[in-house]
Amino acid sequence: MNKLNTFREAVNPESLCNQACAAADDASALLAAALKPTATYSQVTLALEAILALTAKGLAGDAAAYAQYQSLLLELHIPGDARTEPTRRWMASQVYRMEDEFAPALSDFSALPVDQFREKVDAEIAARTRVKHPMSVHLFQGSPPLEDVRFFLQHHWNRSYNFYSLLAELAFRFEAIEDASVFYRNLYGEAGAEAPDRSHPALLSHLMTYFDIPLQVDFPALHPLEKAYLNNRIRCVRHTDVAWGLALLYAVESVSCVNHRRIYELLQRLGVPEEPSEFHRLHGTQDEIDTEEMWELIAKLAPSATFQRQFMQSLTRHFEINRAYFDMLWQQMQEQSGQPA
Ligand SMILES: [Fe+2]
């Protein structure tokens, strides 16, 4: 059984506080001290050691430690005092190394010619589609109550509002401008081209306002599995090996159009006006990134067996976390509607 499933089955908010809480409180206090601009090197390393100990324990199956390590990693990831940015990035990079150590070996990996590698990647993405997830069936094929749609959209905002920052991070990983430009061209569209009020976060915010959803995300209050989902996206695009980020963005992008179109159709059925629906109308009719152009970049690197292995590891990890995250949202949605989970 993989570690994420172990965690998903074990996690229970009421049982999260056991002896690991003491270590987590310590780690939290040590991190607060380490992120003061005046922190000494030894304060930073002390905090890092505490976080790494929680990470190892969490990835070995301890649910409370897993929740705490995801909280602390998210604290390192979300924007904070600019003076501590290099410290936060370095500490996070050490957590990624620990995560790499715990990454399960791929059971049936073998390097393939590039065209066959793409077939395998596309088949894996198609097999892991969210379309058949019970929450998707409920939302897109059923008659969901408005509170369920609102709940879904609130989490959609948590995931999507700063998508542009993932593109910017991955662009930095490429030295050659012709490679990086795949992402810069997209960033131009994300930023609204010549009209900042048409940036994609601005367009999506109109929908949030329509549904009375706050734009400020309360990060500490998020469920550990949502934190894990957000952390993994940031980890992948910051990873020094670009296979991690390319796999993540390719997986997200190749299903983006279909997923957004289904949400747009749902908004249409609910009679949501054009302006708040525009984000989904746009994204449901065009790819965020041209996936063919992105594949060309992947294909340049794909002859390497190491690249292919890391790409598949990244895909596997993304889908495992994604599945656990969507299962959690579905459970919460049913609980808030008073239906059995
Ligand atoms: Fe977008």
pLDDT tens across 286-307, in order?
A: 766 678 899 999 999 999 999 9
pLDDT at 166: 96
- 94 and 119 share one domain: no
Q: By residue range, what is the domain housing residue 212?
A: 114-336
Domain end among 81, 102, 123: 102
Q: Which residue has the higher pLDDT, 168 or 286?
A: 168
d(CA 284, CA 286) in angstroms, rounded, equals 6
User: What residues have CB less than 8 Å from 89, skipping those under 6 apart?
Assistant: 76, 238
Whether residue 75 is predicted with pLDDT greater than 90 in this model: the reply is yes
Residue 280 has pLDDT above 50, yes or no: yes
Residue 18 and residue 64 in one domain: yes
- What separation in Å is there between the alpha carbon of 312 and the centre of ligand 1? 25
Ligand 1 mean position, distance from CA 25 (Å): 38
pLDDT of residue 187: 92
Q: How far, in Å, from the CA of 190 to the mean position of ligand 1?
A: 5
Please indicate whether residue 104 or residue 283 has the higher confidence score (pLDDT): 283
pLDDT band at 212 (very low <50, low <70, confident <90, very high): very high
36, 155: one domain? no
Give yes or no for residue 7 having a pLDDT over 80: no
The band of 11, judged by pLDDT with boundaries at 50, 70 and 90, is: very low
Contacts of 149 (CB under 8 A, 6+ apart): 139, 211, 266, 270
8 CA to centre of ligand 1 in angstroms = 30
Same domain, 23 and 58: yes
**How much is the pLDDT for 24?**
65
Residues 174, 178, 183, 187: is their CA dihedral positive or negative?
Answer: positive
Distance 148 CA to ligand 1 centre (A): 23
Residue 60 in domain: yes
pLDDT tens-place string over residues 96-139: 999 999 988 888 889 999 999 999 999 999 998 888 899 999 99
341 falls within a domain:
no
Q: Give the pLDDT confidence score for residue 12 in this predicted structure.
A: 44
CATH assignment at residue 317? 1.20.910.10
For residues 38 and 126, state if they share a domain: no
The total number of structural domains in the chain stands at 2
Compute, in angstroms, the gap from residue 175 CA to the centroid of ligand 1.
24
Please give the distance, rounded to the nearest whole angstrom, from the Cα atom of residue 151 to the centre of ligand 1: 21
pLDDT for 93: 96
Please tell me whether residues 90 and 197 are part of one structural domain.
no
Is the same domain home to 305 and 217? yes
4-8, 233-237, 325-329: which has the minimum mean pLDDT? 4-8
pLDDT recorded at residue 22: 56
Residue 108 lies in a domain: no
Ligand 1 centre to CA of 266 (Å) is 19
As a whole-number percent, the residues of the chain with pLDDT over 90 amount to: 80
Characterize 142-173 residue by residue with b for buried, 16 or more Cβ atoms within 10 angstroms of its Cβ, and e for exposed. eebeeebbebbbbbbbbebbbbbbbbbbbbeb
For residues 1 and 323, give the distance between their C-alpha atoms in angstroms, rounded to a whole number.
15
Q: Is the same domain home to 225 and 143?
A: yes
pLDDT of residue 21: 56
Ligand 1 centroid, distance to 189 Cα (angstroms): 7
44 lies in the same domain as 139: no
CA of 285 to the centre of ligand 1 (A): 12
Indicate whether 109 belongs to any domain: no
Among 44, 69, 102, give the residue marking a domain's end. Answer: 102
Select from 102, 123, 149 the last residue of a domain: 102
- Does residue 107 sit within a domain? no
| C-alpha 102 – ligand 1 centre gap (Å) | 33
Compare 290 and 48 and report the one with higher pLDDT. 48
pLDDT value of position 338: 75
DSSP 252-275: HHHHHHHHHHHHHHHHHHTT--HH
Same domain for 28 and 156, yes or no, is no
Tell how far the Cα of 70 is from the centroid of ligand 1, in angstroms.
26
Rounded mean pLDDT of 223-241? 97
What is the distance in A from the centroid of ligand 1 to the CA of 288? Answer: 5
Report how far ligand 1's centroid is from the alpha carbon of 46 (Å): 40
Residue 78 sits in the same domain as residue 133: no
Task: Give the CATH number for residue 30.
Answer: 1.10.1240.20
Sign of CA dihedral 225, 226, 232, 238: negative
